[in-house]
Chain A
């Protein structure tokens, strides 16, 4: 990527709900830049403000502070008193409930953005046909909209959002109304569709699996603040914040204190109740600081005999082992802590057995322990 153009830019977005004493601060200075053509996901637990941020971009909510621009043009700016109403913004939106108008047919629904601009009939007809083909709904033009299945309704919603060739497509948990199987399938379809029309897309979800599967970039949010931004791969394997590590997938946390940091900050050591451990440090870590080390269950290697290497090797006892088909999911007691470990299904795991655990330093992430910026502690360790 030589030169990145940002399609949507959000700066210091502030939003309050309610009045007087019931006033709640819902967005606390959210800033992010969304590259053109990317599928960008807002991910976070329920109530963290993802939908609110999305609705601010759509103009359905009016922020109390900050600036939003789409394609370089300010659509909201508190300072310059700019507020472009929703219907004047170059967006398409797919709602959680799909919001298919029940009094119109499929083609009337899809054609709506063009009809209200009084485009010629022939043009509308052609474009409706084209966009229905893109979403795979040809032939259903004259169906009354309520007579569609959930998946079909969703495609109609996509077609309606796409037909006017918006610059940004906004999706608020578009899959949450579908059953599990269809949801899996639609993930791939959404991704494929987005690639095909190459449209900048903002996708809101609280489902981390979904976010990892389809996003080009993820913005992790919590309590109205941005926690971390990165590609799915970065966030999963090299998180910089404790919240990210715990919210995305399963992980184990071991607490300690930083004793050593490599000059290139590619390596570090910590002292913990389980001995000295090596890890890859997060950039904000400093020597002498409390640290938590995060390691995913699938990155812990279980060894029956005492291994040759001694670095990052712990001794433990198997407390629980559940056979999952593709793996054993184990809980292994190390000192006073239970670690979750996923092992190869061929390795027999006997409860009560003593084993050695190798924590590959390359997979150990040292993260600031007292990193509470924007993080509500009670939500940790989900």
Chain B
């Protein structure tokens, strides 16, 4: 038998071990660290439950818990309402201009969280917020009507950042629903409303529920809004508490670990729940892969109302933030738009950024990390997806779970875990780009595996067997047949990962050093230093880079793969 130690076995075993390393080690080290009495490497450290005692017997803990919950549930609810409403208008009604909606919804998707948070501070801050100043001027108010520095403000900023994902997921759910099921109800004599209540809603319920859960997980692990808005407003949530526990002097790693484990438990519960839901959803999935022509509801004159409401949402969610970012990037000091300032429009901010040595390093690092992690994650998960979808290797379900585990790890928790890992293990990469790369691989693996297995499932087994029957080896089959067929999913996953990698903040902020600074960290530092106009210029450049990368990836993907 020549089955052992050929290229196939080596690649498969290598990739599997790597996944276990990426996902498993941080988890183990985090749990370990949270029950150690002293910081890593210090002599005399012992096992203890003191960290948990300290965390849970602090009165502030319950406030923290309550704040995190309010923040997560609020963001989740508002983003869900906005996103679902837009998705419904877009997929199922004859609202005019709905082609524009997709584009409009994707724009906030590309804007990094730190920038959208900054934009909302510039719009809603009680002192300098543009919307506040305008409303005060128009209505002659004494004080600012809105304040970003409140729970409401935080929820709003987070929800606006999250709703595009709801839009995309719900639009897909609406699109994939077999409308003949609804038509059957109509022909059976039920009214439109009854059909909606008895057929549409139950069919959509699993999808809706899973989207809600994703949004909940996303907002409970969110870092940007709590850090930039919550900290000055003295509204603490888990993520910022962990961050502060490490950033205080001296760092309290044990306490950070205890909080991190708690947060991890919450998000893991969410993910497990989510998996249970989606598994059931798959069971009665009405999707057969055939493109249904969704039944479009004629709204009559109401279509102008839906159109107007959609544009109002876009005005708030897209146009205002984008405008304020661009505006601020062209003015010499921060101020409300006025004729006087308009005359002083300048490129000085861009000039400053592009001549700032650290900025060049940050651009280079971010670009390398983003392209590198997206490519490596997609290659790795393509192989893993082959194992879990196509092969019959025992333990493939375990591998699938391992690849998916990091989805439950909030960025800040992953950061804490990796500090433990690389300060303990004798691998001297702490503070280098490598540790960031490994962190990104771990963090984005779940997105990669989802994109890769979804496309892998679609590849008919015979397409690959035909290659074996033609004399192809496993490696030839994988590179010449499977990868090209996987290309649409590969490229989609690559674009998504490179975008989220380029704006990654919550993990990097615990792991970077001066020489491995990335763009989002630089933005964070500039903001903390009060250099608002520089941040905005940096942000605009970041978004341009993101758009260019997505564009190139699509072009390139279309060339090597099959056109979608």
The chain A residues found within 8 Å of chain B, CB to CB, are 58-60, 81-83, 85-88, 91-93, 95-99, 101-103, 112-113, 116-117, 146, 157, 160-161, 164, 170
Contacts and interface: CB of A to CB of B under 8 A. Distances in A.
Interface string B444-484: 00000000000000001011011111111100110011001
A361 B471 CA distance: 53
B487 A58 contact: no
B465 A86 contact: yes
Given A97-B462, A101-B463, A116 B469 contact: no
B272 interface: no
A87 B1 contact: no
Contacts of A96: 462
A161 B469 contact: yes
Nearest to A97: B462
Contacts of B342: none
A146 B460 CA distance: 14
A133 to B, nearest CB: 20
A87 B471 contact: yes
Contacts of A103: 484-485, 487, 561-562
Contact of A116 (B463, B476, B484, B561): B476
Contacts of B484: 101, 103
Contacts of B463: 99, 101
Interface of B: 1-3, 460, 462-463, 465-473, 476-477, 480-481, 484-485, 487, 561-562
Contacts of A83: 1, 3
A86 B2 CA distance: 13
A220 B471 CA distance: 30
Given A81-B1, A116-B473, 17 more contacts: A60-B468, A82-B1, A86-B468, A87-B471, A92-B469, A93-B465, A96-B462, A99-B463, A99-B466, A101-B463, A112-B467, A112-B480, A113-B471, A113-B472, A116-B471, A116-B472, A164-B471
Nearest to A104: B484
Nearest to B466: A99
A87 B473 contact: yes
A99 B472 CA distance: 14
Contacts of B469: 58, 60, 86-87, 91-93, 161, 170
Nearest to A164: B471
9 contacts: A86-B465, A87-B467, A87-B469, A92-B470, A93-B465, A96-B462, A116-B473, A117-B471, A170-B469
Nearest to B469: A93
Contacts of B471: 87-88, 113, 116-117, 164
A146 B481 CA distance: 15
B55 to A, nearest CB: 45
Contacts of B465: 58, 60, 86, 93, 95, 99
Contact of B466 (A59, A82, A88, A160): A160
Contacts of B476: 116
Which of B3, B468, B471, B562 has the most C-beta atoms of chain A within 10 angstroms of its own C-beta? Answer: B471
B481 A101 contact: yes
Contacts of A85: 2, 468
A99 B460 contact: yes
A60 B474 CA distance: 12
Contact of B470 (A60, A81, A97, A113): A113
A102 B485 CA distance: 8
B80 to A, nearest CB: 37
A268 B460 CA distance: 54
Nearest to A85: B468
A97 B460 contact: yes
Contacts of B460: 97, 99
Contacts of A88: 471
B472 A112 contact: yes
Given A81-B1, A103-B484, A103-B485, A95 B472 contact: no
B485 to A, nearest CB: 6
Given A99-B460, A99-B465, A112 B470 contact: yes
Contacts of B472: 87, 112-113, 116
Nearest to B483: A103
Nearest to A161: B469
A112 B485 CA distance: 15
A42 to B, nearest CB: 17
A325 to B, nearest CB: 39
Contacts of A112: 467, 470, 472, 480
A206 B485 CA distance: 31
A160 B485 contact: no
The 3 closest A-B pairs by CB, nearest first: A93-B469, A99-B462, A86-B468
A83 B472 CA distance: 16
A103 B462 CA distance: 15
Contacts of A58: 465, 468-469
A276 B275 CA distance: 71
A75 B477 CA distance: 21
A117 B467 CA distance: 12
A98 B466 CA distance: 9
A95 B485 contact: no
A59 B474 CA distance: 13
A75 B177 CA distance: 48
Contacts of B473: 87, 116
B462 A95 contact: yes
A160 to B, nearest CB: 6
Given A97-B462, A103-B561, A116-B476, A160 B468 contact: no
A161 B481 CA distance: 16
B353 to A, nearest CB: 42
Of A58, A59, A93, A101, most B-chain CB atoms within 10 Å: A101
A261 to B, nearest CB: 49
Nearest to B560: A103
A97 B460 CA distance: 9
B468 A87 contact: yes
B551 to A, nearest CB: 22
A86 B460 CA distance: 18
B474 to A, nearest CB: 8
Contact of A101 (B3, B466, B487): B466
Nearest to B2: A85
A91 B467 CA distance: 11
B108 to A, nearest CB: 34
A92 B465 CA distance: 11
A64 to B, nearest CB: 14
Contacts of B485: 101-103
Contacts of A113: 470-472
A146 B462 CA distance: 15
A97 B465 CA distance: 11
A289 to B, nearest CB: 46
A15 B469 CA distance: 20
A318 to B, nearest CB: 46
Contact of A164 (B462, B470, B487, B562): B470
A365 B562 CA distance: 58
A73 B463 CA distance: 27
A92 B487 CA distance: 27
A95 B466 contact: yes
A97 B461 CA distance: 10
Nearest to A115: B480
Contacts of B3: 83
B1 to A, nearest CB: 6
A74 B472 CA distance: 20
B363 to A, nearest CB: 35
A102 B466 CA distance: 13
A116 B470 contact: yes
A98 B463 CA distance: 8
Contacts of A157: 466
Contacts of A95: 462, 465-466
Given A97-B462, A99-B463, A116 B1 contact: no
Contacts of B481: 101
A87 B467 CA distance: 8
Nearest to B463: A99
Given A58-B469, A87-B472, A93-B469, A116 B462 contact: no
